[in-house]
Structures are given as C-alpha cells and as structure tokens.
C-alpha cells in the first residue's frame, strides 16, 4: 500500500524547489488578506507579537513533525502514518473505544451529525489505525479549497477589473457595488472559481517538478517583487509612519484574550499545518536535505511576507484616513479606493498589481491543497497522477460551486440548509462561512493536535529529532544532543498540544 513499493518516486529538483513550494503553500490569502484585517481588528503590534510566538511555539514544531514523517516514510500521508503503527495497538484501540462511547452519547442526545462523524472516526481508527490522519489529509482540502477557490476566483476577477480600469470607484458604496457584481452573480463567481481551479489542476497535472516546483519558482519571486514595489509606494505616502507604528509598536492594552486565541488559530492556517500537507511535500524530499533549516526558512518567509503585507496595507490606510477594522472586505473594497486616491490616473496600475499579488498567493496555496489529495489518490489508491488530478479537481470544484453561490446566505441551497440543520442542529451564516469556520477553527487545530500527540507520544520525539539533519540514516551522522531532544520533546509533546487544546476549547465556547 505505501509508496515504498514505488521505486521511482518523483522528487523535488533541489532544496530551493522544496522551500519555494512549501513557502508557496504557506504564503497565501492568509498572509495578504486575513493577517492584515485580523491585526487591524485586534490592536496591531501586540497581536503581531503573540502571533509570532504562536508560530514559533506551535506552528514550527508541528511543521517539523509533518515533514519528518513524510521524508522518513517516503509515502503519502495515509501510508506514512500507517507505517508508524501498521496495526492498531492497545492504546489506539482504547482511544477508538472512547470515541465510540462519545459518539453513542452524542447520538442519544440527538446530535446526529456530530455523533455519526465520531462513530465513523472511531470505527476507522479501530480498523485502520492512525492512517486516519492520512484520510484526513486527503479529505480536508475538499473543505478548504472549496471556499478558498471562491476567494481565489475573486482575486482573478479583480485583477482583470483593475486592468480594465473598472476598479475606479472612490466611495464605499461604489466598492460594494463592484464586489456585489462579482460575488453575487452565480455565473460570474462560478466561472472565476472554475478558472482558478483549472489553473491549480493544470499545475498538478504536470507533477512535482515540472508543475508545482516550476510554478513556485516563477511565481514566488514575482510575488516578492510586487510586494516590494507596493511597499515602496505605501511607505512613501504622507503620514505613513503612523501605519508602520501601528503594525510594529506593541500596545498590550489593546490585546484581548480573544485576540491571543485568534492569533494561534491563524498560525495554523497561515503555515498550512494541521492537515499533513507537509507530509506529502516531505515525501518528495531527498535524504540530503536538512529539515530543521528548511522549516526555519519556510516559517521566516511566511511570517516575513505577512509582515510585509502589513507594510503595504497599514501605511496606506493611515495615510488616506480609512478605518482599519473593516474585516474581510478590507482588501476587496477598501484597498482599491486607497489606490485610486493615492495613484490618481495610475490607480488602475496599483490595484491590478495588488490583485495580481493576491492571485499568485492564492494560486500557490490552492495548488498545494490539491496536491495533498492527489498524492493520497496516487500512492494509496493507485490512481494515475492525471486521472487523480481530474477526479480531485472535479469533486472540489463541485463543492466549491456550492460555496460560490452561497456566499451571502443559504437562499440558493434550501434543501442543503435543511439537511445540515437536521444533522447539526443549525446552519449559521452560509455554506461559504461554514467551510471557512470549519477549516480554520476546527479541522486544522484538531489535525494539529492529533499529529502532535501521535508523533510526540506514539512515534516518539527522538525519532523526529534524529530525522532533522541531512542524511539522518548515515553512519557518521551524530546522535542529537540532549538539549535538542529536550527542547523539541517538550515543544512537540507538551507545549503545542496544550496550546491547541486552549484554542479549541475557546472556539467551541467552553473557555
């Protein structure tokens, strides 16, 4: 079953290829769209500081776990986690029984949806063991990419609108009207979403080296260039110093408990950890690469680009005197107004550059999400890469269409709304909202928790630490020092899971 049977597993062409592909996955809408608006809503510098701590204490250790397991097993996430414990042991069966009992309790209390899901999980765990983490890796992209593709489609639409001088509004009413014309007309939003998904699928079709690696090598430098040009424009505006100060000066008085927890959830989303994506990417990595150095570089790139995006957005907002707490519409509605007011007749140029930046960021992340599912289909279910690509892209696009047509509310999907209300006791927001909330508040933290617990306590942190350097199996590779084993041991076994449990209890409202 595992990928070991395949002698010619495709590999990254080089270290830079892996780093850029993983950074491409991490750098996405989370950095340029979500990070600035949640920073704006949570008081600036102090929030940024807490976010940085979460990235180092939770995100980095889980990233390392995921990558080491992938490289060690040389297999898709299903095969990799299955290789650690091929048949469910006593502890695994105990967890399965506990889950089964909780499922029964939920069903008795008429929480049918939650109960059924937990029941399926408990049975899968009892029969297939911790391969369950791999099944999770294959399925979670179906949820994330369905709504991510919708937003990805909007970025493409806005890029073209920028070029066509159609983002020349100067009022919030004008901005809302244009946004509505993209988001609320099904023909328009679905076409762009399908366009976005096709670009992801074409890349995956060409494979690891000719597809993902090549596209990342071309697009990430372009993203960086666009970012630098936009920063120069933004920080040279009158009054821009106030925006820089807002981003960098930590005023702890403005930080709430909610902000701390939000920062933790965002660390998962932004680093693309919690769903085993880096297990798939790590499986294409050769033994001569150092995982610790690579992970540090990826984390630095992701965090650096989030901060640089803040340097584009906040100085411009403060300079023009726009509100900083506009939430998700900040990027689509407020930024074009700013570009028009600072750019004069060149407003279209700044808007289209900005939305090209956003499109690139979304695309490289979308590609990585599609790749995890395709990797599982190819290795575990023996599909050909191309048929796996078409199948995964078609299923994700179909779910994505539902998200696209229901961004505002459920009015176009009444039957689905009734079914979800029956199963889960309610259907808040829209299908789009549900997919967004489900993935960043529930699926990624739960995935991260299970991975850190299973790797930390099941596989053992010494195995992880031994895999960190290049050539881990070579006879002359020194044993890791006690300090390194202690440090990573505590980070993976205790700090990361404890922090995730706190985030999770908060998101379900128990804290």
Sites of contact with ligand PHE (CB under 6 A): 25-26, 28-31, 144, 269-270, 272, 275, 277, 365, 368-369
Q: E strands, 72-208, where?
A: none
Return the number of the residue (365 or 452) whose C-beta is nearest ligand PHE: 365
Nearer Cβ to ligand PHE (265/480): 265
Concatenating the DSSP letter of every residue in 374-412 gives HHHHHHTT---HHHHHHHHHHHHHHHHHHHHTTSS-STT
Backbone phi, psi, residue 143, to 5°? -80, -50
Q: What number of other Cβ atoms are within 10 A of residue 255's Cβ?
A: 19
Least distance to ligand PHE, CB of residue 190, Å: 21
d(CA 144, CA 405): 16
Query: In angstroms, rounded to a whole number, what is the distance separating the alpha carbons of residues 400 and 487?
Result: 42
389 or 417, CB closer to ligand PHE? 389
Contacts of 114 (CB under 8 A, 6+ apart): 106, 424
Residue 51 CB, nearest approach to ligand PHE (Å): 13
Q: Give the Cα separation of 253 and 44 in Å (integer).
A: 11
272 or 294: whose CB is closer to ligand PHE? 272
Minimum CB separation from ligand PHE for residue 471, in Å?
A: 29
Alpha-carbon distance of 204 to 386, in angstroms, equals 8
Decide whether 118 or 367 has the Cβ nearer to ligand PHE: 367
What are the residues whose beta carbons fall under 8 Å from the beta carbon of 381, sequence distance 6 or more? Answer: 388
Tokens of 455: 């790797």
Given the complex with ligand PHE, which of 27 and 465 has the nearer CB atom? 27
Give the span between the Cα atoms of 506 and 184, in whole angstroms: 33
Nearest distance from residue 281's CB to ligand PHE, in Å?
Answer: 10
DSSP 8-class letter at 169: -
Closest distance of CB 38 from ligand PHE, Å: 12
Q: Considering the complex, what minimum distance in angstroms separates the CB of residue 330 from ligand PHE?
A: 15
Q: Which helix (H) or strand (E) element contains residue 263?
A: helix 257-271
Paired tokens of 506: 């908060």
Nearer to ligand PHE, 169 or 269 (CB): 269
Least distance from C-beta 46 to ligand PHE, angstroms? 22
Q: Are 449 and 455 in contact (CB under 8 A)?
A: no
Minimum CB distance to ligand PHE smaller for 342 or for 361: 361
Q: How far is the CB of 397 from ligand PHE (least distance, A)?
A: 17
Contacts of 499 (CB under 8 A, 6+ apart): 54, 57, 58, 264
Q: How many CA atoms lie within 13 A of 350 on its CB side?
A: 25
**What contacts 480, CB < 8 A, 6 or more positions away?**
462, 465, 466, 468
Q: How far is the CB of 83 from ligand PHE (least distance, A)?
A: 23
Minimum CB–partner distance for residue 381 and ligand PHE (Å): 21
What would the DSSP string read from start to end of 426-487? ---S-HHHHHHHIIIIIIHHHHHHHHHHIIIIIIIHHHHHHHSSSSTTSTTSPPPPHHHHHH
- Minimum distance of ligand PHE from residue 65's CB (angstroms): 15
Kindly tell me which of 28 and 134 has the beta carbon lying closer to ligand PHE.
Answer: 28
To ligand PHE, the closest distance from the beta carbon of 272 in angstroms equals 4
- Number of H helices and E strands in the chain, helices first, is 27, 0
Tokens standing for residue 213? 């690696």
**Are 327 and 159 contacting, i.e. CB atoms less than 8 angstroms apart?**
no
Q: Between residues 125 and 144, which has the closer beta carbon with respect to ligand PHE? A: 144
| Nearest residue (CB) to ligand PHE, 169 versus 281 | 281
Residue number with CB closer to ligand PHE (369 or 503): 369
Q: What does the DSSP 8-state code read for residue 184?
A: S
User: What is the H or E stretch that residue 49 is in?
Assistant: helix 45-54
């Amino acid at each position: 079953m595992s990928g070991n049977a395949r002698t010619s597993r495709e590999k990254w062409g080089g270290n830079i290829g892996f780093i850029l592909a993983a950074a491409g996955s991490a750098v996405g809408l989370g950095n340029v769209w979500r990070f600035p608006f949640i920073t704006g809503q949570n008081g600036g510098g102090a929030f940024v500081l807490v976010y940085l701590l979460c990235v180092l204490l939770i995100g980095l250790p889980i990233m390392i776990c995921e990558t080491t397991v992938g490289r060690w097993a040389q297999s898709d996430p299903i095969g990799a986690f299955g290789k650690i414990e091929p048949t469910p042991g006593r502890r695994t069966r105990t967890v399965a029984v506990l889950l089964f009992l909780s499922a029964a309790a939920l069903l008795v209390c008429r929480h049918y949806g939650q109960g059924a899901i937990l029941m399926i999980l408990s049975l899968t765990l009892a029969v297939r063991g911790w391969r369950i983490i791999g099944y999770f890796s294959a399925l979670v992209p179906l949820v994330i990419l369905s709504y991510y593709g919708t937003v990805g489609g909007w970025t493409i639409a806005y890029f073209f609108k920028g070029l066509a001088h159609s983002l020349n509004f100067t009022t919030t009413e004008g901005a809302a009207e244009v946004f509505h014309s993209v988001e609320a007309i099904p023909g328009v939003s679905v076409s762009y979403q399908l366009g976005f998904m096709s670009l992801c699928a074409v890349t995956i079709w060409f494979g690891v080296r000719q597809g993902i690696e090549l596209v990342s090598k071309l697009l990430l430098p372009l993203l960086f260039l666009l970012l630098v040009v936009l920063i120069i424009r933004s920080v040279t505006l009158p009054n821009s110093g106030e925006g820089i100060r807002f981003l960098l000066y930590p005023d702890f008085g403005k930080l709430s408990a909610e902000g701390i927890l939000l920062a933790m959830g965002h660390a998962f989303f932004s680093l693309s950890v919690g769903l085993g994506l880096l297990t798939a990417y790590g499986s294409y990595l050769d033994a001569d690469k150092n995982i610790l150095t690579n992970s540090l570089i990826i984390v630095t790139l992701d965090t650096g680009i989030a901060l640089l995006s803040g340097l584009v957005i906040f100085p411009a907002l403060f300079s023009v005197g726009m509100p900083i707490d506009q939430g998700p519409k900040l990027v689509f509605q407020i930024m074009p107004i700013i570009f028009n007011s600072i750019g004069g007749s060149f407003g279209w140029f700044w808007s289209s550059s900005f939305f090209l930046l956003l499109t690139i960021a979304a695309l490289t992340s979308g590609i990585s999400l599609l790749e995890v599912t395709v990797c599982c289909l190819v290795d575990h279910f023996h599909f050909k890469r191309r048929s796996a690509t078409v199948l995964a892209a078609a299923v994700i696009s179909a779910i994505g269409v539902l998200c696209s047509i229901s961004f505002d509310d459920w009015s176009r999907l009444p039957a689905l709304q009734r079914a979800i209300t029956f199963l889960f006791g309610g259907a808040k927001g829209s299908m789009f909202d549900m997919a967004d909330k489900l993935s960043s508040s529930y699926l990624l933290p739960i995935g991260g928790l299970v991975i850190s617990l299973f790797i930390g306590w099941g596989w053992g942190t010494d195995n992880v630490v031994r895999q960190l350097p290049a050539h881990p199996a070579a006879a002359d590779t020194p044993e890791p020092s006690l300090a390194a084993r202690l440090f990573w041991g505590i980070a993976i076994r205790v700090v990361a899971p404890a922090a995730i449990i706190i985030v999770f209890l908060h998101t379900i409202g128990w804290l």
